[in-house]
Structure 1
Amino acid sequence: MIACEFQPRIVSPFDWATLIFVVALGLVVIARTAFESRFNDYIRLLVSDKYTKIYRESSHLWSGFNIVLFVVHLISLSFFIQIVLAHNGWGEKTDWLLFVRIFTGLFVFILSKFLIEKIIAVTFDVEELIDEFNLQKVNFRTYIGLLLFPVSMILFYGDFITNTLISVIIITILVINLLTYLFSLKNHQNIVTGKLFYFILYLCALEIAPYYFIYYLITKN
């Protein structure tokens, strides 16, 4: 009789991350397949304004296309933040609980910020401007998430991350965000000019202050 020896299964600490990366990749494929024409216009967002002209109505904010890419954006940004934290000794990049916390924190932060913006927009009668501005932010930021997705995947499985590389990626993200504001100012120049004070107040209170406080808390701790 042949004796059977059971070998313990070796579970890689990267298994959970691989699964999430596959899910994110699947979401990109779904967006590419289900919205082929829209996706083709979308990937040229930085070099052409065709996409923003076609899908400029605020009703597109909650479209299936944007929701799918928003999830990809959250996943790729959460991985990148975790990689940066791990690089600085503030966690482990293979810690799935840390990823869940970052992902949940980002989701709650973005959702809370959106709801506060909505309340302020209605209060100061700039709802139309803020809705279109939010749509453009979603367009550009999900685009950032799409670009960041392969970068985060490579950095997660590789061991060549440096402070210079992190700085280049962060600066690129900030530049694309700046383009969002400039693009919005150009497209809504007449509206912004008439309500310049409220728009500046909005930028300072909801677009600059929250990120400054997050940066302050992270660096302080």
Structure 2
Amino acid sequence: MKELEFIPRLTQSTDWATLIFLATFILLAVNKNVFSVRFSEYIKLIYSDKYIKIYRDTSNLKSWFTISMFIVQLISFSFIVHIILSTFSIIDFHSFLDFIKVFNFIAFFILAKYLIEKIIAVCFNLEDFAEHYNLLKVNYRTYLGLLLLPVSIVWFYYPVNSQYFAYGLIFIIIAINIGLYFVILKNYEKLILSNIFYFILYLCTLEIAPYLILFKWVDIYKS
């Protein structure tokens, strides 16, 4: 008598990711239709700073368009980090709960940096410069998040379980961020040079140090 072969039931699902990606595209579609002119200028940010010049008022930092693109950035970054951590077997690739933890951590990390930066700006009476600088960073970082969104989608549904690939992507993201700083320095040299002490203090305490601590923590956790 032939023995029955039992096929294990697949209990892992990525439907939650599909819903999140769908909601993200709906959010982008709403922005494209509600803020059609602004969105079209924003898309050109990779080769033109016209958007920065038009929407340079610091009130844009709290506008619905900026906030919604920040949400897209959080989702995009969270998926990239989620996949990278799962590649190093730190978290479960299919776990929605782990994704939420990553999302919350990134959101807290960014908001905490923003609040600390506000405190430093108040202490040195540089609130106006800090607001303008933050607006620049948010615009370029949300744009980076938009560019990484298709990467996160492709990588999530067609995972490359290679640590070398993960390291390569980390290197590319770091290189892009460094490039963004050079763009900001080039286009807003006078503004930054007039507040060079604050800029150096910011780079050391809020850009370089936190990421070094994070990489060290991940390396310890991984080992």
Same fold (TM over 0.5): yes
Instruction: In structure 2, list runs of 5 or more residues that go unmatched.
Output: 1-9
Find the counterpart in structure 2 of residue 69 from structure 1: 69
Give yes or no for contact 1:155–1:161 (8 Å, CA) kept in 2.
no
Measure how far apart 1:16 and its partner are: 1.0
Shift of 1:12: 5.8
1:155-205 residue CA offsets vs partner (Å, 9 max, x unmatched):
111133534443443333223322332233234433433332232111101
The equivalent residue for 1:114 is 114
CA distance in 2, matches of 1:24, 1:36: 17
CA distances 1:114-151 after superposition (whole Å, capped 9, x unpaired): 01101111111222221111111111111111111111
Matched, 1:201 2:201: yes
> Deviation per CA, 1:72-130, whole angstroms, max 9, x where unpaired?
11111111111111111112211001001000111111111101101111111222221
Residues in 1 aligned to 2:169 and 2:52: alpha-carbon distance in whole angstroms: 24
Contact 1:136 1:180 in 2 (8 A): no
Residues 140 and 191 of structure 1, relative CA distance in 2, 3 Å threshold:
closer
Partner letter of residue 95 of structure 1?
S
Cα distance in 2, alignment partners of residues 144 and 199 from structure 1: 22
Cα distance, 1:152 vs structure 2: 0.7
Deviates more, 1:93-102 or 1:161-170: 161-170
> Residue 140 of structure 1 contacts residue 176 of structure 1 at CA under 8 Å; is this kept in 2?
no
SS in 2 for 1:44: helix
- In the other structure, the counterpart of 2:155 is 155
Contact 1:79 1:152 in 2 (8 A): yes
The worse-fitting range, judged by mean Cα deviation, of 185-194 and 125-134 is 185-194
Once the 2 structures are TM-superposed, how far is the Cα of residue 153 of structure 1 from its aligned partner?
Answer: 1.0
Residues 72 and 145, structure 2, Cα contact 8 Å, conserved in 1: yes
Corresponding residue for 2:130?
130
Q: Which residue of 1 aligns with 2:36?
A: 36
Counterpart for residue 6 of structure 1? none
In the alignment, the residues of structure 1 paired with residue 173 and residue 66 of structure 2 have an alpha-carbon distance, to the nearest angstrom, of 19
2:149 maps to amino acid: F
CA 198–159 in structure 1, closer or farther in 2 if over 3 Å, else same: closer
Query: How many angstroms apart in 1 are the aligned matches of 2:81 and 2:104?
Result: 13
Amino acid in structure 1 at the alignment position of 2:146: L
Q: Does the 8 A contact of 1:129 with 1:188 survive in 2?
A: no
Identity of matched residues, %: 43
TM-score w.r.t. the length of structure 2 is 0.88
C-alpha distance in 2, partners of 1:183/1:125?
25
What amino acid maps onto 2:33 in structure 1?
T
TM-aligned CA distance change 1:72 to 1:191, over 3 Å:
closer
How far apart are the structure 1 equivalents of 2:190 and 2:147? 32
Please report the RMSD computed on the Cα atoms of aligned residues, expressed in angstroms: 1.9
Query: How many matched pairs?
Result: 213
Q: TM (normalized to structure 1)?
A: 0.89
Counterparts of residues 1-221 of structure 1 (less than 5 Å): 13-221=13-221
Checking the alignment, whether the CA contact within 8 Å between 2:12 and 2:94 is kept in structure 1 is no
